[in-house]
Each structure stands twice: as structure tokens, then as C-alpha cells.
Amino acid sequence: MHKSVGIEGATRILVKRDADIVLVCQRARSLAADLKFSGNDQVALVIAISEIARNIILYAGEGEIFIKTVFDGDTPGICIVARDQGAGISDVSLALQDGYSTGGGLGVGLPGARRLMDEFEIDSKVGQGTTVAMIKWNR
């Protein structure tokens, strides 16, 4: 994971209802547009965030998402950190498999988000919660 990942200096958005997902996605998209991301990359970024945000609401009830601009040399990117204090994921590698879901979903959310972003890291402890950190670079 790139060294610039983190929540320092990031915009924090509480995620509790589906309207909050709209807000997070709007914020990320306008940031991506400012950084001249291509249309397809903007969509990929927004989908990845939407999947992660839905997971927060579905599995943890509520959580928070941090958005900020990061740089790798001259290359701008968007860093997203999603954090909740939910039940956590007992088997992270299983949750990252296509088609696996405990919530009646399609099982594409986490693995899909990982594919749509350039960098993706998930840290989860049962009983303590889950943190997902991811970056999309504008290369």
C-alpha cells in the first residue's frame, strides 16, 4: 500500500443511511473530476466506494468514510478509508472471493471493489470492526 494512505487531512463522512452513500459518491466523483480522471475511472471509483459504503450499512449499521487526494510523485490519486465498528469479518480471504456473501447479496462487492481500485487493503478483527483502505490513481 502506498505510504500516503491514511485519514490525515481527509474529509470525513458519516455513513448511516443510503442517502449518505449518495453524498460520499458525489464527493468522490467531483474530486475525481477535479483531478481529471477519465469518465470510466470516475465510474469505477464511485462503484468501488458505493460497494464499500453499502457493506458498512448492511453489515455494521454505521461507519465513516474518509476521502482525500494523494500524490505519487506527480500522479494524483484518491484515497478512500472506510471504517466501522461492526462485527468484523471472520474470514477475510473468503469474503474477497467472488460470489461469497453472508448478507444475501451477489457476493461481488468486496472482490469487485478490489478489482476496480489500484490499491486495496482490508483489515478486520472479529468483534472490533473493519477498515478498508483503497487508492485509485489517475495514470
Partner 1 sequence: MFMDDDFTDDAMSGVASTIQKLEDLLLVTVPRDLMDDQVLSLRREVVKHIRLYNSLWVLLDFSQVDICDSYFGRFIQSMANMVRLTGARVIISGLQDAVIETMVELGMTLPDVRAVLDLDEALAMSRTNGKVDADTSETELAELSFLDSSTFDFFEV
Strands 11-15 vs 63-72: parallel, antiparallel or unpaired: antiparallel
Nearer of residues 8 and 19 to partner 1, judged by Cβ: 19
End-to-end Cα spacing for the chain: 16
What string marks each residue from 66 to 95 as x (binds partner 1 by CB under 8 A) or -? ------------------------------
Nearer of residues 33 and 126 to partner 1, judged by Cβ: 33
Secondary element (H or E) of residue 120: strand 119-125
Residue 5 as a binder of partner 1 (CB under 8 A): the answer is: no
Q: How many CB atoms lie within 10 A of CB 121?
A: 15
Measured distance CA(35)–CA(107) in Å, rounded: 31
Pick the binder of partner 1 from 26, 90, 102, 128 (CB under 8 A).
Answer: 26
Residue 107 corresponds to which cell in the numbers above? 457476493
Q: Which residues bind partner 1 (CB under 8 A)?
A: 18-19, 21-23, 25-26, 29, 39-40, 43-44, 46-47, 50-51, 54, 57-58, 98-99, 103-106, 108-109, 111-112, 115-116
